[in-house]
Amino acid sequence: MRFPSKAISSTLSARLRAFQIYGANTNVGKTIVSTILCKALKESRDASAQLLKLEIHNVLIHQTSHVSKFSGVTTSCLWQFNDPVSPHLAVPQELNLTDSLLLDKVHNHISSLSNEKGTFILETAGGVHSPTPSGSSQADAYRPLRLPIILIADPALGGISASISAYESLHIRGYDVDRVVVFSNEPYRNDSYLSPKDVGDEEQMLEYYARTAESQELFDLIGDLHSRHAARIQDIKSMPQRAADKIWYPFTQHTSVAADNIRAIDSAHGDHFSVYTPPTVAVSEPAEESAEVLAPRYDGSASWWTQGLGHSNPELALSAAYAAGRYGHVMFPGSIHSPALKLSELLLEKLDNPRLNRVFFSDNGSTGAEVAIKMGLRASRERYGWSSEDKDIGIIGLKGAYHGDTIGAMDAADPGIYNKEVEWYKGRGFWFDFPKVGLSEGKWKVEVPGEQQQELGTSHEFGSLEDIFDISRDSTELAEKYAKYIHTQLHQAINVEGRKFGALMLEPVVLGAAGMHFCDPLFQRTLINVIRNSADLFPQAKLTPAKPAAELVASKATTAWTGLPVIHDEVFTGLYRLGSFSPSHLLHVQPDISIHAKLLTGGLLPLCTTLAGEEIFKSFLSEHKHKALLHGHSYTAHAVGCQVALDSLNIMNTMAEAGEFSIAPSEGKTQTSRDKLWSKWSSEFTTKLSHSPKVESVWALGTVLAITLKAQETGYASNASGWLMDRLKGNGIDARALGNVVYVMTSVSTEDAAVRGLEEVVKGFEEW
Amino acid sequence: MRFPSKAISSTLSARLRAFQIYGANTNVGKTIVSTILCKALKESRDASAQLLKLEIHNVLIHQTSHVSKFSGVTTSCLWQFNDPVSPHLAVPQELNLTDSLLLDKVHNHISSLSNEKGTFILETAGGVHSPTPSGSSQADAYRPLRLPIILIADPALGGISASISAYESLHIRGYDVDRVVVFSNEPYRNDSYLSPKDVGDEEQMLEYYARTAESQELFDLIGDLHSRHAARIQDIKSMPQRAADKIWYPFTQHTSVAADNIRAIDSAHGDHFSVYTPPTVAVSEPAEESAEVLAPRYDGSASWWTQGLGHSNPELALSAAYAAGRYGHVMFPGSIHSPALKLSELLLEKLDNPRLNRVFFSDNGSTGAEVAIKMGLRASRERYGWSSEDKDIGIIGLKGAYHGDTIGAMDAADPGIYNKEVEWYKGRGFWFDFPKVGLSEGKWKVEVPGEQQQELGTSHEFGSLEDIFDISRDSTELAEKYAKYIHTQLHQAINVEGRKFGALMLEPVVLGAAGMHFCDPLFQRTLINVIRNSADLFPQAKLTPAKPAAELVASKATTAWTGLPVIHDEVFTGLYRLGSFSPSHLLHVQPDISIHAKLLTGGLLPLCTTLAGEEIFKSFLSEHKHKALLHGHSYTAHAVGCQVALDSLNIMNTMAEAGEFSIAPSEGKTQTSRDKLWSKWSSEFTTKLSHSPKVESVWALGTVLAITLKAQETGYASNASGWLMDRLKGNGIDARALGNVVYVMTSVSTEDAAVRGLEEVVKGFEEW
């Protein structure tokens, strides 16, 4: 499912009441209902329903004249075709009537009426899934509008089934079906009226409409539709205040939260939210307030880095429902079900890492990190013969690391703004600062932090980002310096200070929460190589002969861990977020344990997998139950999450194989191959930004764009990004800032045209 | 949705290939397809397809004669009615043809054929949702069989939509649609044949069937159906070995895991799994092996205590899909969406506790417990003026506590088999042993553990379980003894040893993982009262005047916490698991923080909420961002989970209000009212068990039955339950044991008849 690139919000006006009529089948009386409704509204006894404007849009077929004739209201028809076959056949190809064009025209038409008081009815053609001119389903094509639905049921034999199924097709696309209308077959035999084009007796029709317009049922139906419309608006407008009173937001300082800065999300579609934003108290009311309640907002943080295939993707909704309908949740220990097994096999296959052959399921990145830590520490404890009473085993990592918010995951990160106030937090480890990659004034550079500059130099310039990832850098002088520096630091901690470490834990390539820090891949690879190959730091490492890094990478047979188990936390950077299936492929490193979440379900539901190899697995084998890996959540490997993950990974893999991402799979390549890196964002755009005097550096890789602004104070608390965030917000883009770093990301499936559109908007800011 | 009480597994035979034909609408040619298939199979050129038996079941309408006449195969019809209207109208009411009866008859019929090689086709009537005689949907009623589907699409105008919707209705119920067949309208105008009952020209029909039976397409279709059948069997039989190779199971000692003790779950329905169990190597093959691949198993642990409304509940599948289709997952901080807000409001309303007014979302009980701990510790730190550097603040709890497997949740439990081997585990707290409730030799008793017997007596006997919950016990001598004992212990720890505690954390009423320990409610209530009212233990508690327990309970105005914040971990015991919306209502205690997960989503997906009051919330307010509650998962308040939770709680609440649970809501009752307790399990049954010489004690409350067996060694490692577990397993019941304690639980919606059936089975074990 590709989503329209244009920002369209759902339609909801405080004045115009808009509804959509779908039929459970063709020929079920949609036009009759439209006519009845129009006539009744025109003659309404309800004084408050002043019908200034009333239109019928039967977009694709040709019965507007019937409605006008018998109801007397204005009707219009955007396109009219005289062949009573399915629209995708009836519409001449040369019209090139795409879904975007169709949606745009309908949306603009409704918008043009939205300040007028009245009722608007959009009547669709055929059944709910009858094709649009482009061949897609109407239920999908009109979904961005998310108008309340009047579903006309099928009164024929077999119509109960068709009507329920039609309802379900609408419901699982997130439509609200306000009313189901059905013509009774008996005793009035209204079915003889169901085919307006065949009506021969005009007098009979007039008599029929006159009679129905008087009915109490119809009066009640209209009243009910109108009160639902009013209730919907009242509800959404009340939501920010109710949320301010009742919700405790995650990772949020509530002193800055009030009703007027909480947005109510009515729905989402593709990369856009449809939101109600309460009026800011500070701003005076505009002279003439728009009646539009909802506006589109671009989801610039991909909803905390989770989105891959667009919000409200009907394929993923169907996947979720299939697994719910087949299994619900089923007990995992001692059992296996197909979605969990196939997902495990797919991950193992696509990661293509002989060091990984087992999959452990948990619920999110944080729990997955705790599982990885438990795995790594136990493996080291067994290898090095430490006591289970020894609670002071730490981990080695990078500064600014973030692995989640449970206490164990917090403890694996150095003290900082995300954890230091937490009562039970205790940083357990050693964290290296590291050289960072960025594009600055049109040049790709690796910038070394102050405290390392004496050993590692100040800054290193490269011709391209591909040069920075080139594995032949392993044999450069800088690699040697990195190795020496790292070794010296670890020697001090381990051999001099006597500290113990049980694992190396890294976010490969980019440290997200730290501030979208792009670590020099050579530094990460060298750190891993030093730990894997230094028998003086990890004496048992001698058991396996130390090998040069390149050889280790080359040898598929190397599956035993040496030195320390290497954990890759790929929760943010994995599964195509940076363009490759795994960032480990970009790094040309095979971790011993890896963690995958966020994009795993394409952005629908929580699920996490922690993968490890047989040797680590075996360190938990014992005759004692309690030496097992003591971790398990009730919903471990829940079928709904596994099925959605399986299907969304398959969709993304198919896109990748079709060349929609240009990072080729690493298999069969030599180590020194310089894979072309891929980004949603154009290099023309990032280069231009990198020349701005306001910009320290910028980078884009895969779906992510990160802009580091020049600032006095850096880090999470910095406010240097204020102007840019305001500018983005003013242009309908919900970005997030990490101190002086502003990032915007896309889904994997975002249309290129949409990204070009974003770039045009951002480039146009005068402040640059 | 109520599920049939009888155990029926999906139908899958290694010999008989069974399929089901559904139509996208009525009159789409189901009977024609059946006839074509039967004829082709009978005349099959595929030597391997020996058609020993071939039957057509057009269960509800009257066209079997057509199939026999034109294909020459045996057909039968279970019931036949001559009125061509919807079955729920055609079938005489006096037949009382329930879904269970219908399903049973069809299932038995297929089972009777399952050892014969051949093909069986079940043809349904009308469309997929056409009503059964009872008025329910066919797609729901036949779902337990989960036969592979041949869907006959609708070739008429509008049929595309009807066909896609019909497919979706089947798909979201977990059916696998193997093939969609559609008659082409052009150029052969096969549609003129679509109504067999109208066929006048028999010769023309014969010619038609003769022609189609030769077609390559048909040959391919049959080949494809057969290879899918073979592949399905091959796949499910291979799953245990693949799982043994690739999966790392939660909380499982893998030395005891091998392919032959992993069950492959093909699907689930209601309280039953349909599983393939690999043959045990030790047992020799039976002389004549049954061809049935799947067998039903009762989900006796409610899939790790999660199930409320039955596996594969179509209502919850639709809820999940609706939220997925409307929102996908949307960013939570700074936003609000309807499912999260309505769920929060519903929880606050139903908990009816003025101490709670804010809802924090996380992903599972363990993360929810960490959030609760962070809340409680911060509130105490602010109240008592402790430094943020003080990392030695513990919690108070009960021995055997279990709050989850993340490090922070583990740290809140005393050292034991679940945590002591974990490298970063450090028990941080003080845990009381406690008197336990059980039915022994027909008497309800409170048994005091050895170390407390001197102060608290050995054992106390009661007339009923209601007597044990009676709040008037607060003014008994035992209450005084409890209070004195608790106070002495805490005085020693706090005032003598100088330890600091930041929260009291309890699993109200029952400590699940500890071994289904039913704590004397008076002990828990007294512990809370001592902590809330002892100014000498918690000096700041003086700020609020100490009150007698009864007065505290009575006063709705009492919302400020005193002493320590009281955390109720209701993850297992909440949301009707024990029959009441909250176990706090049973206990007549209003906690300051409460945690809800597992049953929250009715048993479909991970989701957790931690609720707290405004005073605790305010202890995180600051001008500094990093003093916020530092916890947040990517999928916080994911719309799918919230919508499913909202809908499933509403369903359960409606059941409760309809009197399906007999624990009345506490509102409006006086404190001393003795609400009648409710249990799925009959007292006749528990009383009988309690008299067995093998049984130490037994209890049943709500959906849970727990049997403590007499044993030399108790606790998780005990093996005293071996014989009972084997007996249950042999009778198709998957129970779980916690050492010498065996428990079986039901869903909230399990039919009483099903529970009576289980009781009969269990009572019959000769070992008692």
The string of pLDDT tens digits covering residues A64-75 is 566 777 777 766
Select the more confidently predicted residue: B236 or A78.
Answer: B236
Quote the pLDDT of residue A109: 83
Could you tell me if residue B306 is inside a domain? no
- Kindly report the nearest CA distance between residue A697 and chain B, in angstroms: 26
pLDDT of residue B261: 92
| Range in A326-330, A709-713, B507-511 the model is least confident about | A709-713
C-alpha A599/C-alpha A648 separation (Å) is 9
* Last residue within a domain, chosen from A186, A219, A234: A234
Cβ atoms within 10 Å, residue A68: 16
User: Which tops the pLDDT comparison, A154 or A361?
Assistant: A361
pLDDT for residue A709 is more than 50: yes
Choose the weakest-confidence range: A144-148, A469-473, A611-615, B121-125.
Answer: B121-125
SS3 A196: helix
The answer to whether the Cβ–Cβ distance between B165 and A334 falls below 8 Å is no
Q: Is A277 inside any structural domain?
A: no
Residue B57 has pLDDT above 70, yes or no: no
CB contact under 8 A, A629 and B250: yes
B84, B206: one domain: yes
**pLDDT confidence of A670, banded at 50, 70, 90?**
very low
Burial of residue B15 (CB within 10 Å: 0-12, 13-18, 19+) is middle
Mean pLDDT of all residues in chain B? 86
Judge whether residue B86 has pLDDT over 80.
Answer: no
- CB atoms B318 and A628 under 8 Å: no
Residue of A232, A241, A634 for testing the chain B interface, max B β-carbons within 10 Å: A634
| Closest partner CB to A335 (pick from B164, B263, B621) | B263
Residue B423 has its nearest CB partner, among A419, A502, A635, at A502
Residues of B in contact with A142 (CB under 8 A): none
Within a domain: A514: yes
As beta bridge partners, residue A737 has: A742
Which residues of chain A make contact with B331, given a CB cutoff of 8 A?
A: 273, 299, 301, 303-304, 734
- What pLDDT does residue B646 have? 98
pLDDT interval class at B187 (50, 70, 90): very low
Task: From B190, B212, B234, give the residue that closes a domain.
Answer: B234
Chain B residues whose beta carbon lies within 8 Å of the beta carbon of residue A164: 129, 137, 169
Mean pLDDT on A162-171: 95
Cα angle: B185, vertex B191, B197; to 5 degrees: 170
Q: Is A677 on the interface with B (CB under 8 A)?
A: no
| pLDDT tens, residue by residue, A386-436 | 987 887 899 999 999 999 999 999 999 999 988 888 999 999 999 999 999
pLDDT at B193 over 80: no
Buried residues in A695-712 as b, exposed as e (16+ CB within 10 A): bbbbbbbbbbbbbbbebe
Determine phi and psi for B531, rounding to 5 degrees: -65, -40
pLDDT single digits (tens) A13-41: 998 889 999 999 888 888 888 888 888 87
Checking DSSP bridges between strand B741-745 and strand A443-447, what pairing results, if any?
Answer: unpaired
Contact (CB<8Å) A641/B605: yes
> Looking at residue A266, what is its pLDDT?
97
Mean pLDDT lowest among A546-555, B187-196, B219-228: B187-196
Amino acid at B729: K
Q: Which tops the pLDDT comparison, B647 or B37?
A: B647
In a domain, B589, yes or no: yes
Is the pLDDT higher at A602 or at B223? A602
Q: What is the CATH number of the domain that holds A107?
A: 3.40.50.300
Judged by average pLDDT, the poorest of A445-459, A754-768, B44-58, B611-625 is B44-58
Any domain includes A445: no
Residue A505 main-chain phi, psi, to 5 deg: -130, 120
The answer for B 470-509 residues in CB contact with A (under 8 A) is 502
Does residue A620 surpass a pLDDT of 50? yes
Domain check: are B50 and B132 in the same one?
yes
A330, A388, A393: best to mutate for the B interface, most B CBs within 10 A: A330
Confidence class of residue B199 from pLDDT cuts 50, 70 and 90? very low
What pLDDT is attached to residue A344?
98
The answer to whether B134 contacts chain A (CB < 8 Å) is no
A544-548, A729-733, B86-90: the lowest-pLDDT one: A544-548
Question: How many CB atoms lie under 10 A from the CB of residue A201?
Answer: 9
What pLDDT score does A33 carry? Answer: 84
Task: Write the residue in B172, B381, B633 that is nearest to A250 by C-beta.
Answer: B633
pLDDT band at residue A184 using 50, 70 and 90 as cut-offs? low
Across the interface, do A129 and B160 touch by the CB < 8 Å criterion? yes
Residue ranges making up the domain that contains B549: 323-433+503-657
Q: Please, which residues 262-321 of chain A have a Cβ atom closer than 8 Å to chain B? A: 262-265, 267-268, 273, 275, 299, 301, 303-307, 310-314, 316-318, 320-321
Residue B287 has pLDDT above 70, yes or no: no
Asked if A642 has any chain B CB less than 8 Å from its own CB, the reply is: no
Q: Do B646 and B703 have their domain in common? A: no
Select from A253, A301, A528 the least CA-distant residue to A417: A253
My answer on whether A325 and A225 are in the same domain is: no
The pair of structure tokens assigned to A41 is 């509204």
The chain B residue lying nearest A313, using CA atoms, is: B325
**Each residue's pLDDT tens digit, A507-528:** 999 999 999 999 999 999 999 9
CATH code: domain of residue A390 = 3.40.640.10
Domain boundary among B217, B234, B251: B234
* Strand B295-299 relative to strand A394-398, pairing: unpaired
Strands B593-596 and B566-569, by their bridges, are parallel
Residue B119's pLDDT is what?
A: 85
Interchain pair A634, B299: CB under 8 A: no
pLDDT at residue B755 tops 70: yes
Which chain B residue has its CA at the smallest distance from A638's CA? B605
Ranked by mean pLDDT, which of A252-266, A539-553, B83-97, B191-205 comes out on top? A252-266
pLDDT value at B666 more than 80: no
B617 shares a domain with B510: yes
Is A355 or A117 the better-scoring residue by pLDDT?
Answer: A355
Query: Same domain for A550 and A615?
Result: yes
Q: Is residue A442 part of a domain?
A: no
A432 - beta bridge partners? A398
Domain for residue B271, yes or no?
no
Indicate if A121 and A210 belong to the same structural domain. yes
- Of A254, A377, A628, nearest to B423 by CB-CB distance is A377
- Cβ-contact A620, A627 below 8 angstroms: yes
Of chain B, the percentage scoring pLDDT greater than 70 comes to: 85
Determine contact, residues A230/A49, Cβ cutoff 8 Å.
no
Give chain A positions within 8 Å (CB) of B25.
Answer: 25, 158, 161-162
What does the DSSP assignment read for A86-130? -HHHHS-GGG---HHHHHHHHHHHHHHHTTS-EEEEEEEEEETTP
Chain A residue with Cα closest to B641: A605
> Which ipTM was obtained for this model?
0.93
**Are A543 and A398 part of one and the same domain?**
yes
Question: A83 to chain B: which residues are within 8 Å by CB?
Answer: none
Interface test with A, best of B349, B608, B634, B713 (most A CBs within 10 A): B634
Confidence band for B131, pLDDT divided at 50, 70 and 90: confident
- For B330-360, the pLDDT digits (tens) are 999 999 999 999 999 999 999 999 999 999 9
pTM of the model: 0.94
Q: Is pLDDT larger for residue A49 or for residue B375?
A: B375
Domain with B746 in it: what CATH number?
3.90.1150.10
Closest residue in B to A362 (Cα) is: B250
What is the reported pLDDT for A714? 65
In a shared domain, residues A653 and A691 = no
Q: Do A640 and B320 touch (CB under 8 A)?
A: yes
pLDDT at B223: 87
Place of tokens 């006959």: B152
pLDDT at B229 over 70: yes
Whether residues B30 and B89 fall in one domain:
yes
Q: How many domains does chain A have?
A: 3
Per CB-CB distance under 8 Å, the chain A contacts of B263 are 334-336
Q: In this model, does residue A100 exceed pLDDT 90?
A: no
Who has greater pLDDT, A477 or B662?
A: A477
- Residue B435 confidence (pLDDT) above 50: yes
Q: Are A595 and A736 within one domain?
A: no
Task: Write out pLDDT tens, residues B475-499.
Answer: 999 999 999 999 999 999 999 999 9
Domain assignment of residue B663, yes or no? no
Intra-chain end-to-end CA distance of chain B, in Å: 36
CA angle (A555, A556, A557) in 5-degree steps? 85
Q: Are the CB atoms for B195 and B31 separated by under 8 Å?
A: no
B599 and B693 belong to one structural domain: no
Taking the C-alpha atoms of residue A254 and residue B366, their distance in angstroms, rounded to an integer, is: 24
